[in-house]
Structure 1
Amino acid sequence: MKDILSNLSTVKRRITNTCEKTGRNSSDVKLLLATKTVAADKIEIALAQGETLIGENKVQELKEKFETLQTIPHQTHFIGHLQSNKIKEVLKYVDCIQSVDRISLVNKLQKRLDFEDKTIDVFIQVNTSYENSKFGIEPKKALDFALKLKAYERINIKGLMTIGLFSADNEKVRNCFRMLKNIQYQMLDKGIPSQELSMGMSGDLETAIEEGSTMIRVGTAIFGKRHYPDSYYWNETK
């Protein structure tokens, strides 16, 4: 518990310091707890400190933690690759899907939402690093995709999401975030509601905030190193 509280304080200080450096208000940057593989009791500790956003990557974990966390006020975002056959289950547990990246998924999502008479908030995931190992729509196709998505009345576009390049070259990472910001400008110019930019994680949150992030997704820096390889989170085939 002490480690989580200390780590949370450190992350909040990193956010505040970066915002002060760049002339931004720290209240404009939301902290989403990336809680994949994190036990529900540990998540409870962070939520008890006033945090209100968590992000999960897998449907099974959503189900396992739901009962424990449902009495604590918070919102749950799905931040992993969403397979079409998991839409029904995901909609039971989340307030927002941050990984919408293809029309085939949108069509099935709309159909399920029609059936349930519901709406859902979404972020468009953009593959700004151009890595085959990452999901997300190609940057050059993002605006056209958003224009099509805007016509789906059950789906509310809230913003854009990306995963920065995993690189020690900070400028290459920065370019990913800057690209997403430029796409946001294009979308806003076309009247597409995309005020949120979900970008930046434990290792690159400062760079993301400098480039305009409004939501950072932090797990390891708060809950500690995970005992799972990256393939655990991104193992679905495209």
Structure 2
Amino acid sequence: MYDGSEAGEYAARLAETLPRVRDEIAAAAAGAGRTPESVRLLAVSKGHPLEAIRAALAAGLGELGENRVAELAGKVEAIGRESVRWHMIGHVQRRKVGGVLEVVDCVQSVDSMRLAERIDRLAAESGRTVEVLVQVNTSGEAAKGGFEADEAEDAVLAIAGFGNVRVEGLMTMAPFVDDERVLRGTFSGARRILEEVRRQSSEVGPQLSMGMSNDLRFAVEEGSTMVRIGTALFGARPGLAGGA
């Protein structure tokens, strides 16, 4: 059911937060000698209702990210795909790949060779090519998904050779800490991996999805081309204290 008051609250919030986030992106880009347009803003709508998405679209945000398959599918069914690009940013179980491919434009979280192979096979069966980002673990955290730094180059090059997968670049997640050295190390590590694989193959795109609400400045300064922002745009997820 449409909730007009909640939609109004999200619209009012975005009227304040969106210019602030864009200013932060612009400042970080300028500090790195880049233009604001070189950084895409992915609005992370996970945990927020449809009213948040409608407010985001009305505010001019055209790319949305979700990390749970069921929530993603429900929102795509309600909102459609005509005016928005949907990104899957969370872990995808191989048995759920088929459902994900039906509703997304990009799978950002290809974190294993078996998952990549499954995506490629199902994409081939449906006669399409799927846009993906390969997730790399450059933080060294055991809890983080993705290919470890020492195996990432070979994995990315192998996946880029699949017939029905288009590797647009890499994605990484930094630890939720305030240590600038740790954050920059995570982001610069992903950038160096991407630079190396692009030196070896023209089949890998230039996208670097890295940086969230708490660390977007460092991510952009280290080369991010897409930041995934939730809390700084929409506020804390209802009933929760955290966010992307």
What TM-score bracket applies, with the shorter chain setting the length?
over 0.9
Q: 1:71: Cα distance to partner?
A: 6.0
Aligned match of 1:195 in 200, 206, 227? Answer: 206
Give, as a single letter, the amino acid of the residue that structure 1 aligns with 2:139. S
Q: 1:21: Cα distance to partner?
A: 2.3
Give, as a single letter, the amino acid of the residue that structure 1 aligns with 2:225. T
Q: Percent identity?
A: 36
Q: Secondary structure at the match of 1:126?
A: strand
Aligned equivalent of 1:83: 93
Task: Supply the distance in 1 between the matched residues of 2:157 and 2:75 (Cα, whole angstroms).
Answer: 35
For this pair of structures, how many residues does the alignment match?
232
Following superposition of structure 1 onto structure 2, how do residues 1-238 of structure 1 map, counting pairs within 5 Å? 1-70=11-80, 73-191=83-201, 192-226=203-237, 227-228=239-240
Query: Which consecutive residues of structure 1, in runs of 5 or more, have no partner in the other structure?
Result: 234-238
TM-score, length basis structure 1 = 0.93
Q: 1:130 to 1:71 in 2, by over 3 A?
A: closer
Task: Supply the distance in 2 between the matched residues of 1:85 and 1:154 (Cα, whole angstroms).
Answer: 18
Give, as a single letter, the amino acid of the residue that structure 2 aligns with 1:216. V
- After TM superposition, the structure 1 stretch with the greater mean CA deviation from structure 2, 66-75 or 84-93, is 66-75
Is the 8 Å Cα contact of residues 40 and 65 (structure 1) preserved in structure 2? yes
Is the 8 Å Cα contact of residues 77 and 98 (structure 1) preserved in structure 2? yes
Give, as a single letter, the amino acid of the residue that structure 2 aligns with 1:23. G
TM-score, length basis structure 2 = 0.91
Query: Which consecutive residues of structure 2, in runs of 5 or more, have no partner in the other structure?
Result: 1-10
Task: Supply the distance in 2 between the matched residues of 1:90 and 1:5 (Cα, whole angstroms).
Answer: 31
Q: 1:34: Cα distance to partner?
A: 0.8
CA deviation string 1:106-148 (max 9, x = no partner)? 2211221122111100000001111121111101101100121
CA deviation string 1:5-29 (max 9, x = no partner)? 2111110111112222222100000
Q: 1:194: Cα distance to partner?
A: 2.9
Task: Supply the distance in 2 between the matched residues of 1:61 and 1:127 (Cα, whole angstroms).
Answer: 25
Task: Supply the distance in 2 between the matched residues of 1:72 and 1:117 (Cα, whole angstroms).
Answer: 21
RMSD of Structure 2 on Structure 1 (CA):
1.7
Task: Supply the distance in 2 between the matched residues of 1:47 and 1:118 (Cα, whole angstroms).
Answer: 27
Q: Secondary structure at the match of 2:109?
A: strand
Give, as a single letter, the amino acid of the residue that structure 2 aligns with 1:204. D
